[in-house]
Structure 1
Amino acid sequence: MSVDQTQDIAGGDEKATATVEAMAATTAASYPVAPGYRLNVRSGPGTNYSIVRVLSEGAEVRINCQTPGTWVSGPYGTSNIWDNIGSGQYVSDAYIRTGSDGYVAPRC
């Protein structure tokens, strides 16, 4: 069940709302960028999108949601998963140590 679905079910119940907030905080966990890399943050889920900023070495990101995009090879394998780290900000999951080859956050 996604966070959005839980919110719809929770309605106005304060205890359920607190649970939804806790789930959202858990979903947006912090993950490190691969050591030794400065990582391009792009405006969309692919290498064809413009670079909006560059993350410094040692940076950590909070993944809001994930979506498929262009395939990228990086230190953590080859993946078409892109991590949304902010409004209009995406990084290739191949450069983020999530501990998984699959999705670790809801789909965007």
Structure 2
Amino acid sequence: MEEATAEATAEAVETTTYTVKRYPVAPGYRLNVRNGPGTNYQVIKVLPEGVRVPINCQKPGETITGPYGTTNLWDNIANGQYVSDAYVNTGSDGYVAVRCS
């Protein structure tokens, strides 16, 4: 009887899945990833040309001019990893994700 209960419970559990949207980095650029929203933060890695990045959240920081305009938005692409939104083709001049807390 325990086996039937476990099976029924497993069927009742709803699984939520979603696809993380990835945005292309400007063609021809190797993008610095920093540990905060500005060039005064340490570069922790460099992304190769042609990558697409997820945007988990966004926050204001240093104003940067790049191929997609001038902005103070920085995109969080992983825990503690930020890139300037001026180098990411989001199709918007504003927020496309929630604000980072």
Report the TM-score, using the length of structure 1 for normalisation.
Answer: 0.77
> What whole-Å deviation, never above 9, does each CA across 1:18-48 have from its counterpart, x for those lacking one?
3xx53xx4xx410000000000000001111
Amino acid at match of 1:45: P
Alignment-derived partner of residue 36 in structure 2 = 44
In the TM superposition, 1:35-74 aligns within 5 A as 35-74=27-66
| One-letter amino acid of the structure 1 residue matched with residue 65 of structure 2 | S
RMSD: 1.5
For structure 2, the 5+ residue unaligned runs are: 1-12
Paired residue for 1:33?
25
Distance (Å, rounded) in 2 between the aligned partners of 1:32 and 1:106: 19
SS state at 1:94 partner: helix
Selected match of 1:80 from 72, 75, 79: 72
Shift of 1:100: 0.3
Q: Distance in 2 between matches of 1:42 and 1:95?
A: 13
The answer to whether structure 1 residue 93 and structure 2 residue 88 are counterparts is: no
Higher helix residue share: 1
Identity of aligned residues (%): 66
Aligned length: 89
Using the size of structure 2 for normalisation, the TM-score is 0.82
